[in-house]
Amino acid sequence: MAVKLQDIQAPVAKEMLEFEKKFRHSMKTNVMLLDKITSYIVRRKGKQMRPLFVFLSAGVSGTIGEATFRGASLIELLHTASLVHDDVVDDAHYRRGFFSVNALWKNKIAVLVGDFLLSRGLLLSLENDDFNLLKIVSHAVKEMSEGELLQMEKARKLDITEEVYYEVIRQKTASLIRSCCEVGASSVFSSVEAVAKMGQFGEKVGMAFQIKDDLFDYGTYEIGKPTGIDIKEKKMTLPLLYALSQSTKGEKSKIKKLIKKSADQPKNVAEVISFVKSKGGLDYAIEVMNKFHQDAIDILRTFPESMYRNSLEQLVQFTISRTK
């Protein structure tokens, strides 16, 4: 039977509730328009997986304190800012089934709101001398930006290798989950070694998480209908990379041409998906995802057993078993 997110949160349920209030407070402003927009963002929050990683990592490493709450707020402010900016870059009008900030208030305001959220995170750290947490999160911001730009650069030529793919997802996705786990450990004054180890754990989880996302594009019996969004956006994901590596020169040329010239046509998307499945691309990606998952669990189990560690282990399982 699948574990519910509510059960995973149980050891830090009180802290997560308190965090919501503190997070709202961290976004308070006297500018009415800005306050209205940040309230809209808070009301439409997602599963809050990242703060959960922070609190559970802190619990595994020591005793949760005020610095942990600030670290979780810093992560969430950064993450929210990046989502607001992403929607502008992608010209996306929906986020989690609701209108995006740029759809309701236009691009100029959305960019400024993202800047405000980022600066609130920076100030929150500086006002409390949380330089260790700020260093971790600033590094993640740099990595996320580099990962996005590397992916865009490679999408133009469709020349990405599996090695480059891993570097893209390490920077783009895994760096943020890594920083959640490092912030949690660092907020409870863990040793440098323990913080680094918790970061390695987070990075492995992030890699597995992104590969799971890649699989959604192709659809399996676990995750419903294929979407083909990555194919339309010319993103070279792991199932496709593996399928191309198992192909003849002619097959490669044909598939790349389909993606380059007319990836927005449903018939061509369906042909690419069928090709990837026939070449074992999904099976290979699932195998790699499970390897990252197991590596993460092996690292986590070097920490003493506790209710926090058990929940963190369940959270990792949740991220690769999710259906959306």
Q: Which residue has the higher pLDDT, 72 or 154?
A: 72
Q: What are phi and psi of 280, to 5 degrees?
A: 80, 20
Share of the chain above pLDDT 70, in %: 93
pLDDT per residue as tens digits for the range 212-232 = 988 887 865 444 445 667 777
Under the banding of pLDDT at 50, 70 and 90, the label for residue 280 is very high
pLDDT score at 107 = 84
The residue-averaged pLDDT of 186-206 equals 94
The residue-averaged pLDDT of 177-188 equals 96
Dist. CA 188–CA 206, nearest whole Å: 22
Let me know if 91 is exposed, middle or buried by CB neighbors in 10 A (0-12, 13-18, 19+). Answer: exposed
What is the C-alpha end-to-end distance of the chain, expressed in Å? 18
Under the banding of pLDDT at 50, 70 and 90, the label for residue 86 is confident
pLDDT per residue as tens digits for the range 115-157 = 988 899 899 899 999 999 999 999 998 999 899 888 888 776 7
Buried b or exposed e, range 267-303, using 16+ CB within 10 angstroms: ebbeebbebbbebebbebbbebbeebbebbbebbeeb
Q: Does residue 158 have a pLDDT over 90?
A: no
pLDDT per residue as tens digits for the range 245-273 = 998 889 888 888 887 776 567 787 888 88
The average confidence (pLDDT) of the chain is 86
DSSP H/E element including 295? helix 281-300
Q: Does residue 292 have a pLDDT over 60?
A: yes
Hey, what are 307's tokens?
């209710």
DSSP string spanning 22-71?
Answer: HHHHHT--S-HHHHHHHHHHHHT----HHHHHHHHHHHHHS---HHHHHH
Dist. CA 179–CA 321, nearest whole Å: 22
Q: Which of 25, 17, 15, 49 is nearest to 322 (CA)?
A: 49
Dist. CA 10–CA 55, nearest whole Å: 11
Dist. CA 141–CA 38, nearest whole Å: 21
Determine contact, residues 293/320, Cβ cutoff 8 Å. Answer: yes
DSSP H/E element including 242? helix 238-245
DSSP tag of 170: I
The residue-averaged pLDDT of 187-199 equals 93
DSSP H/E element including 95? strand 94-95
Spatial CB neighbours of 71, under 8 Å, sequence gap ≥ 6: 54, 58, 130, 133, 183, 184, 186, 187
